[in-house]
Amino acid sequence: MTFRCLSTLKKIEHEGFTPTAKRRLAGGNKRFPFRIMYTRADIVNVQVKQAEHMSISGVQDKISLKLLGGELVPVDTGGEYILKPIPSAVIPAFRKDIPANEHLTMQMAEQMFGITAAANAIVYLKDGEPAYLTKRFDRQAGQKIFQEDFCQLSGRTEETHGKNYKYDISYEELGRILRLFCPAYPVEVEKLFRIILFNYVFSNGDAHLKNFSLFMSEQGDHVLTPAYDLLCSSILN
């Protein structure tokens, strides 16, 4: 029987991940689970408890996890992964496909377009429902890496720029913000253009300012973070 890696989608002979995908997700030779002992209802309850501690933006249900003893467990601080189950909110059709949508889109961005993307996978909840899992790239050796999204860089908030502050701006202006804050602009602007082009081709209408960020690389340069929150939003309309 043939299976597909729950991260890279490559054919494998067992359920789970390829060795390469497992190393990327776990950060070494640690055991990495593809099943989580929580239901969607459990996750919503955990999300309520984590809400005051989490700094992850967005309206989709999500909780912070950490790999402990070969299991992914919810944590209030020091999380290494973000888990997004099927949204509990009442939204248009294809709601149940949102985890697969984001996973597939992220994989296509990296494998087909050569875009560096956050490590990601599909995992299964206790009741068999799929959920999207992504590894946090703003953590390294247990330490948080300073990161700012383009709303923070440009000083845009709902109070200063209105309800649509994340959206009421052009991609040309996005490039100007990058030029202002990124010394490696000649290199990074090409990466930015590739992501913008990908979002256009794959109909990602939710590519707002908070979905682009800069952080400090291991070499000490301020550069674009790996791509994140990529999905085909047009099929949700």
Are the CB atoms for 215 and 138 separated by under 8 Å?
A: yes
Same domain flag for 183 and 106: no
Separation of alpha carbons 57 and 202, rounded Å: 23
Last residue of a domain, which of 78, 105, 136? Answer: 136
What pLDDT, on a 0 to 100 scale, did the predictor assign at position 56?
A: 46
Last residue of a domain, which of 136, 160, 183? Answer: 136
Cα 50 vs. chain centroid, distance in angstroms? 18
Separation of alpha carbons 171 and 175, rounded Å: 6
Same domain flag for 131 and 16: yes
Residue 10 lies in a domain: yes
pTM of the predicted model as reported, rounded to 2 decimal places: 0.91
Same domain flag for 120 and 150: no
Are the CB atoms for 75 and 63 separated by under 8 Å?
A: no
Are the CB atoms for 181 and 214 separated by under 8 Å?
A: yes
How many domains does one find in the chain? 2
Residue 141 lies in a domain: no
Same domain flag for 39 and 106: yes
Same domain flag for 76 and 116: yes
What pLDDT, on a 0 to 100 scale, did the predictor assign at position 54?
A: 52
| Domain span at 73 | 3-136
Residue 125 lies in a domain: yes
Separation of alpha carbons 71 and 169, rounded Å: 42
Q: What is the pLDDT of residues 31-82, one digit of tens each?
A: 899 999 988 888 877 777 666 555 444 557 899 999 999 999 999 888 999 9
What is the residue-averaged pLDDT of the chain?
89
Separation of alpha carbons 147 and 55, rounded Å: 12
Are the CB atoms for 85 and 131 separated by under 8 Å?
A: yes
Start-to-end CA distance of the chain, whole Å, equals: 37
Same domain flag for 83 and 186: no
Are the CB atoms for 130 and 100 separated by under 8 Å?
A: yes
**Distances from the Cα of 77 to the Cα of 56, 74, 142, 190, 198, angstroms:** 12, 9, 11, 35, 33
Same domain flag for 15 and 124: yes
Separation of alpha carbons 87 and 60, rounded Å: 6
Residue 195 lies in a domain: yes
Last residue of a domain, which of 96, 112, 136? Answer: 136
Q: Which helix (H) or strand (E) holds 204?
A: none
Same domain flag for 20 and 125: yes
Residue 170 lies in a domain: yes
Q: What is the pLDDT of residues 96-151, one digit of tens each?
A: 889 999 999 999 999 999 999 999 999 999 999 999 999 999 987 767 888 999 99
Residue 54 lies in a domain: yes
